[in-house]
Structure 1
Amino acid sequence: MPDFLSFINDMLWGSVMIYLLLGAGMWFTWRTGYIQFRYVRQFGKSLKGSFSSQEGGLTSFQALCTSLAARVGSGNLAGVALAITAGGPGAVFWMWVSAIIGMATSFAECSLAQLYKERDSQGQFRGGPAWYMARGLGMRWMGVLFSLFLLLAYGLIFNTVQANSVALALSYAFHLPAFITGLGLVALTLLCIMRGLRGVARLLQWVVPFMALIWVIASVLISLWYVEQLPVILVRIIRSAFGWQEAAAGAVGYTLSQALTSGIQRGMFSNEAGLGSTPNAAAAAASFPPHPAAQGIVQMIGVFVDTMVICTASAMVVLLAGHETSLNGIAGITLVQHAMEDLIGSGGASFVACVVLLFAFTSIVANYLYAENNLFFLQLHTPRNIWLLRAVTLLMVMAGTLLSLPVVWQLADVIMALMAITNLTAILLLSPVVRIIASDYLRQRKLGVRPVFDPARYPDIKQQLAPESWDDTPHQ
């Protein structure tokens, strides 16, 4: 089984996904007028405006924290370590590239999710890739296919990855049996997911910033303590990214390929740009200002924070400790714990275990919300089916603590690629709509007015929208 999954991964990630991700990112960077660069100075203003509460949905900040909860998981620690051990320090550079380019892709998918959202029977906004495939492209079958992929990924596979990392970390730090870890995670997850979308969002808007700050502050303090090594590490990241270090040994082609593949693969698993998961949270927001692009810009901040800040913090810990290769077969979260122990002493492993517990737990909860959201699209959101999804999710969390790491990561990579291919195909087909959204937003910003989306200006788009989603938007 591991050999078969490895073959599939090599086929998907060796060429198809690399070209598709980079190509889509560069395409949307151009089509949106380089929006991730033009608005980098506006991130603070956009973040401030994201606290504004509107009727019918989450605040933009709550949607951002929900998406960050899914993004910021074990991939930010264990995934970074795996990328470095597989592709060398250069993998970090390609993670950065995937984030910068992926910000435009994230803008595209999240803006589309806002545009094609609709209200459920409770008045809460729902939406995501399945909705813009059905409404924007008129391909409900494609939305159904994507929803099934997402249910498999976020209801099952990805939760095993998170639970696996927690079990390994707690076992190494506290010698806690995996079974006990599984039971604890199951209990905590059940208590949270029973609160519903709004209840979970209110919880995550406090927990997510707190846990991210803890890890970043710790990394910054450690980097300052070893500040004299930072220039050397940065040089090695750049040299390794292009295979310059290995050129003399004749291995430049292979090393460049490994760094590129590992960096983009783990970068995407972490920041989820183009994967189609984040739009499920973006659509739930009642965006302020009332324009689809506003939520797209807020969600770009999530990609930046996830990869450029949190993943870089993890990479610095691993590289400062000199753990660029697997230690006697040890990789993933345990390697991060070894690195932290070498840097700050015996308490390092316990600190990492506590951090990954927070990261993974919030990811599991957000993953469940994404899966439940797609039950609504499939019109299967009966109480019976929702409880069935909860039971299966909890079962996979428990199972994840007992599975071997390579199999879990390989399964996650395969399903992630299938989701991404489906979603990227859809948003590329909808790129004319993305251009309209971006241009409309930028036009109003240039005029110095608060951007408001008026569907009447775009009759072709208006007829695709849910009647109750934008009709009550105040016109200028």
Structure 2
Amino acid sequence: MLDLLNDLLWGKVLIALLLIVGVGFTVASRFVQFRYFTRMFRVLGASQAFQRNKHGHLSSFQALVLSIAGRVGGGNIAGVAVAITLGGPGAIFWMWMVGLIGMATSFLECSLAQAYKQAEPDGTYRGGPAHYISKGLGPRWKWMAAVYSVLLLVTFGFGFNALQSYAVATSLNDAFNIPVFYSGIGLAMIAGLIIFGGVKRIARVAEFLVPIMAVGYLLITLVVLGMNLSLIPDVIVLIVKSAFGLEQVVGGGIGAAIMMGVKRGLFSNEAGLGSAPNVAAVAYVPHPANQGVVQSFSVFIDTIIICSCTAFIILLSGIYDPAALADIGGVALTQSALADHVGDWGRSFVSIALLLFGFSTVLYNYYLGENSINFFNTSNQNLFNGFRVITIGLVCWGATTDLGTVFAFADVTMGLLALVNLIALVALFKPGLRILKDYDRQIAEGVEQPIFEAEKFRDMNVDPAAWVLEPEDIERLQQRSAALAQPRETLS
């Protein structure tokens, strides 16, 4: 039954919806993910300068690294290896395509999450698909928001936390002979110390951890590329040919390449799942599209950069052999490939990278589970503490258990999660474009940092309390209004 549902969701339904949303919004937005690609750096610079230390809110940068902490995980190391094993090198091409159109999808869902976020009594924000479904589509669709929240809790809060722990523990066991039981206990203890500190502590840890793990993995890949410069063009040709069935390397051919590329690409970058919007909504930004721009870049980092690192490490190695891939896969394939390039210490490096990637993802998954519970109940602190204890238990249990069935179940719930969110995004296309057009208009008028004036969007049912501007943005808005009024006064 699980295999049947997986084939239906990933082989037909989700591919169609991902194309409709990703390609549709790319065209309707005039390729927003490419138009505003370089603007991301200005957005992050402004958020670092103003909010992070002055007003107590999370900044765009902190929300970015927190979302990268979730996107960059076992899927970038083990998932890419699985995609190559089952779909051939062509799966990487389709993973790239999912990433590029997923940047537009991420822009849409994260802009909507910002627009429809709600203010909390402690001064923080909450938001995500459950909020933009219930507010953007209206009260009649609150049941759909509830379904999404339950699926989010089951998939990320429960399933994926166990899976990340399993991947990390088995990798450490392979590289260092550390018993999986001890790895599970260690991960659970450290995770517990952080998650009981709430989202701000999680963001601070991610802000420190994510740049180290991403830059370290990129550097080792550059070393591998430098050692194999003459082979790089051949690998690129192999990826493209395999993607279109011109190079038969696996039994499933082009169909397997597309299916594995889409599935593993979405599993890795999560664009369309609606997971990242839960994190994108917690930041203070002067305009929702700011966070859309930043979060679309996080998809680029995850899929086009980090996933490609793993792919080239594997495909440039002497380990890669299509006929023998059935005997080795997952993390072990990546470890063996890197060891082939740099020696046995490569196995240890992959295990350490997976430890950092997996641990940061556990923190991210916990927050998604907490946010899904928050949609139903915001006052019962015992409920949140209970979930924290369950998370710690799942991390410990996942490290010591064969999770084959859990993997299959998580694929189904992830597919259903994406299905609900993508349907909501289709329904909210117009509000998303309206937010973008307001941003485009201000940029065209020469405004360096556009500001979202919530009173102009009251018909969209946004929460005015979540859009109380910080002093710097109020001052800029007043200066702009004064500048616009001056020519009229001169004329009169």
Give your verdict on TM over 0.5.
yes
Q: Post-superposition shift, 1:6?
A: 2.1
Distance (whole Å) between structure 2 residues aligned to residue 114 and residue 49 of structure 1: 17
Deviations 1:312-339 (A, max 9, x none): 0011111111425464533111111111
Alignment partner, residue 206 of structure 1: 208
Q: Aligned partners of 2:254, 2:410: CA distance in 1, in Å?
A: 23
2-structure distance, mates of 1:382, 1:53:
33
Q: Which runs of structure 2 are paired with 1:351-430 in the superposition (5 Å)?
A: 351-430=349-428
Where 1:281 maps in the other structure, the secondary structure is helix
| Residue in structure 2 matched with residue 246 of structure 1 by the alignment | 248
Distance 1:231 1:405, change over 3 A: farther
Query: Quick check: 2:109–2:274 contact (8 Å CA) kept in 1?
Result: yes
Give CA-to-partner distance per residue, 1:69-126, whole Å, 9 cap, x none.
1111111000000001010000000010000000010000000000011111211011
Alignment partner, residue 4 of structure 2: 7
CA contact (8 A) 1:66 1:366 kept: yes
Counting only pairs closer than 5 Å after superposition, residues 88-237 of structure 1 correspond to structure 2 as 88-138=88-138, 139-237=141-239
- Aligned-pair RMSD on alpha carbons? 1.7
Q: 2:334 aligns with which of 317, 333, 336?
A: 336
Moved more, 40-49 or 262-271: 40-49
In the TM superposition, what is the alpha-carbon distance from 1:358 to its structure 2 partner? 0.4
User: 1:205 and 1:213 mapped to 2: Cα distance?
Assistant: 13
Q: Kindly provide the CA deviation profile for residues 246-275 of structure 1, in whole angstroms up to 9, marking residues without a partner as x.
A: 39x9x7xx4111101101110111111010
AA at the equivalent of 2:368:
Y
CA distance in 1, matches of 2:379, 2:75: 30
Instruction: Select the structure of larger CA radius of gyration.
Output: 2
Q: Structure 1 471/28 Cα, relative in aligned 2: closer, same or farther at 3 Å? A: same
- The 2-side partners of 1:467 and 1:152 are apart by 31
8 Å CA contact retained: 1:116, 1:136: yes
**CA deviation map 1:336-377 (0-9, x unaligned):** 111111111111111111110000000001110111122221
SS class of match (2:431): helix
How many Å separate the matches in 2 of 1:43 and 1:218?
26
Q: Determine the structure 1 residue equivalent to 2:57.
A: 57
Give the aligned length.
Answer: 465
- Aligned residue number for residue 436 of structure 2: 438
TM-score (norm 1): 0.94
Q: Distance in 2 between matches of 1:172 and 1:323?
A: 19
- Specify whether residues 56 and 147 from structure 1 end up closer, same or farther in structure 2 by C-alpha distance, changes over 3 A only: farther
Paired position in structure 1 for 2:274? 276
Task: Give yes or no for contact 2:98–2:262 (8 Å, CA) kept in 1.
Answer: yes
Q: Which deviates the most, 22-31 or 127-136?
A: 22-31
From the superposition, tell whether residues 41 and 353 of structure 1 become closer, same or farther in structure 2 (CA, over 3 Å).
same
In 1, Cα distance between equivalents of 2:22 and 2:142: 25
1:24-61 Cα shifts (integer Å, max 9, x gaps) = 10111122221012112323323333424434631000
Cα-to-partner distance string for 1:362-409 (whole Å, 9 max, x where unaligned): 000111011112222111552211111112112221221123353333
Q: Is the 8 A contact 1:52 1:60 kept in 2?
A: no
- AA partner of residue 293 (structure 2): I
The answer as to whether partners of 1:56 and 1:125 remain within 8 angstroms in 2 is no
Q: CA deviation at 1:147?
A: 0.7
CA contact (8 A) 1:88 1:324 kept: no
Residue of structure 2 in register with 1:298 after alignment:
294
Counterpart of 1:262 (choices 251, 260, 263) is 260
Of 393-402 and 83-92, deviating more is 393-402
On the 8 A contact 2:196/2:388 being kept in 1, the answer is no
User: Hey, what's the Cα distance between the residues in 2 that align with 1:440 and 1:196?
Assistant: 34
In the alignment, structure 1 segments of 5+ residues that lack a partner are none
1:454 aligns with 2:456: no
How far apart in 1 are the matches of 2:362 and 2:157? 9
SS at match of 1:122: coil
CA contact (8 A) 1:116 1:466 kept: yes
Does the residue aligned with 1:75 lie in a helix, a strand or coil?
helix
CA distance, structure 1, for counterparts of residue 220 and residue 297 of structure 2: 21
1:40 — aligned with what? 37
TM-score calculated relative to the size of structure 2 = 0.91
Cα distance in 2 for partners of 1:338, 1:243 equals 27
State the Cα deviation string for residues 265-300 of structure 1 (Å, max 9, x = none).
10111111010100011000001xx10000000001
Letter in 1 for 2:295: Q
Aligned equivalents of 1:165, 1:397: Cα separation in 2: 11
Write out per-residue CA displacement over residues 178-217 of structure 1, whole angstroms, 9 at most, x where no aligned residue.
1111101101110111121111111211110111000011
2:306 corresponds to which residue? 310
Using the alignment, how far apart are the partners of 2:63 and 2:32 within structure 1? 20
Distance 1:226 1:410, change over 3 A: same
Amino acid at match of 1:349: R
Aligned pair in 2 of structure 1 residues 304, 50: CA closer, same or farther (>3 Å)?
Answer: farther
Name the CA distance, whole Å, in 1 between partners of 2:406 and 2:82: 13
Distance 1:198 1:455, change over 3 A: same
- Contact map agreement 1:239 1:245 (CA 8 A) in 2: yes
